[in-house]
């Protein structure tokens, strides 16, 4: 099938590359001419494991191409919209400016009988609006508008697309259903569930799923705080809770709060949607507030562990919102680092992939070229992102490099007992000293 992907950002590029790997002929379209030229040269603008190879293989096979012109979508049986839907600064709503613009341009070139597929995360009812835009500009053309939300984890997006838990497809007519089933036939042959719903249900599924996962993160963070006060171990508690099949262990890792392109944006948008519908989601409202408070609390934790940070050098390992990505959107570091600086700290940081993006967002910090140069001469080490490269550091070397042996581990990647035995003043999450005393006694 000939497919056009309007938007060559994270979702559009990953989706387009994977669809071409299924055997479809895909053109990714983006107004950013520099991005398109870079993609044609084989330069991938984002860090995503495996994406470079998938793109290169399908470009070489002639199944994947790139264009800055919407006319490249002419003749496509399916046209996906995968443009950005950023949060509006004033009210938290999803900004549909790019979605509407894409719909208008598509309407001017779309073929009769084609399917327009909404891949971007959009509020409930957006499909109806897109359908109306196309009908107004192309009244004589029969076009199906479908919702097909993405569920891609940054750092594991290729596997998530090719081996998904499910594929959600919101359709309102049989033509749309047939085309979508054909697009995803390779997955259906591998027993992947294709969940067909109404278009509005599909739009809501994406928001509801992300809000629920975000609540698991916020919940375990609050239980972590409780563990510190009463002497529990959050990792034991999380494992004991997660072994319940009704709950599951995933997303039950204590940390400095969630970030990224989805959870913060989607929880705000869902909160706004619910308020406007007269069905406020109090849990989601509390969740949003709790996550912002969490990031500030982590900054205070660092300051306390150091006995104040004024005039001190703090080494930070990891700036991206999660490992295996260069994405800095809503990363906890964007809250934590400025607080440390406001308290008078000098911050030196290292991130394996996020330095380029971080330099634009955190211009007043210094960047090291590796973890050991980062900690050299620092008064404390703070681990914000759990990159694999940080999980097996030479701790004797780290201790020798630090001016004071203070480590604040916001991801619990080291064992508390071992760090204390090595002579570190070690602060982690949800593993309070009361628990240590109880075990020693």
Tokens of 194: 């294709």
* C-alpha R_g of the chain: 24
Cα-flanking dihedrals φ and ψ of residue 322, to 5°? Answer: -155, 165
Give the ranges where 231-262 is alpha helix by DSSP (H).
Answer: 234-242
Axis crossing angle, helix 126-137 with helix 97-109, rounded to the nearest 10: 40
Going by C-alpha positions, the residue among 36, 96, 107, 100 that lies closest to residue 74 is 107
Can you spell out the DSSP letters for 247-305? Answer: T-STT----S---SSSHHHHHHHHHHHHHHTT---HHHHHHHHHHHHHHHHHHHHHHHH
The residue count of the chain comes to 441
CB count in 10 Å sphere of residue 307: 12
Is residue 262 part of the annotated active site? The answer reads yes
Q: What is the spatial distance between Cα 308 and Cα 296, in angstroms, rounded to a whole number? A: 15
Catalytic residue among 18, 28, 227, 262: 262
209's CB contacts (< 8 A; 6+ apart) are 151
Tokens of 255: 């940390």
Distances (CA, A) of 391 to 101, 121, 318: 45, 34, 12
Query: Which residues are annotated as catalytic?
Result: 262
């Amino acid at each position: 099938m000939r497919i056009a992907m309007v938007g060559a950002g994270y979702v559009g590029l990953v989706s387009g590359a994977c669809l071409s790997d299924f055997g479809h002929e895909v053109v990714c379209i983006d107004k950013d001419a520099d991005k398109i030229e870079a993609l044609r040269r084989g330069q991938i603008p984002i860090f995503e494991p495996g994406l470079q190879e998938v793109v290169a293989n399908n470009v070489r096979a002639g199944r994947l191409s790139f264009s800055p012109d919407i006319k490249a979508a002419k003749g496509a049986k399916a046209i996906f919209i995968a443009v950005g839907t950023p949060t509006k600064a004033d009210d938290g709503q999803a900004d549909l400016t790019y979605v509407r613009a894409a719909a208008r341009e598509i309407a001017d070139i779309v073929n009769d009988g084609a399917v327009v597929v909404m891949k971007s995360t959009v509020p409930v009812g957006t499909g109806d609006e897109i359908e109306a835009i196309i009908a107004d500009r192309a009244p004589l053309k029969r076009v199906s508008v479908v919702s097909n939300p993405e569920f891609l984890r940054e750092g594991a997006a290729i596997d998530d697309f090719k081996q998904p838990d499910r594929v959600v497809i919101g359709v309102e007519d049989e033509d749309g259903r047939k085309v979508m089933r054909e697009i995803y036939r390779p997955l259906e042959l591998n027993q992947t569930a294709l969940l067909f719903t109404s278009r509005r249900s599909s739009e809501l599924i994406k928001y509801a799923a992300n809000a629920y996962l975000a609540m698991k993160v916020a919940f375990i963070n609050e239980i972590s705080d409780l563990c510190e006060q009463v002497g529990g171990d959050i990792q034991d508690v999380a494992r004991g809770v997660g072994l319940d099949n009704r709950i599951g262990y995933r997303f039950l890792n204590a940390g400095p709060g969630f970030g990224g392109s989805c959870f913060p944006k989607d929880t705000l948008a869902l909160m706004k949607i619910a308020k406007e519908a007269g069905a406020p989601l109090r849990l989601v409202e509390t969740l949003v507030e709790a996550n912002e408070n969490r990031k500030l609390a982590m900054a205070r934790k660092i300051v306390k562990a150091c006995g104040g940070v004024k005039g001190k050098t703090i080494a930070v390992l990891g700036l991206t919102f999660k490992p295996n990505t260069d994405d800095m959107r809503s990363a906890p570091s964007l809250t934590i680092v400025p607080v440390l600086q406001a308290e008078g700290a000098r911050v030196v940081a290292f991130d394996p992939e996020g330095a380029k993006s971080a330099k634009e967002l955190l211009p007043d910090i210094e960047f090291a070229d590796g973890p050991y140069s980062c900690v050299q001469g620092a008064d404390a080490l703070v681990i914000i992102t759990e990159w694999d490269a940080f999980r097996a550091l030479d701790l004797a070397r780290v201790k020798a490099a630090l001016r004071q042996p203070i480590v604040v581990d916001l991801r619990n990647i080291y064992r508390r007992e071992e760090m204390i035995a090595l002579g570190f003043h070690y602060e982690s999450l949800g593993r309070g000293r009361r628990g240590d005393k109880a075990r020693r006694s």
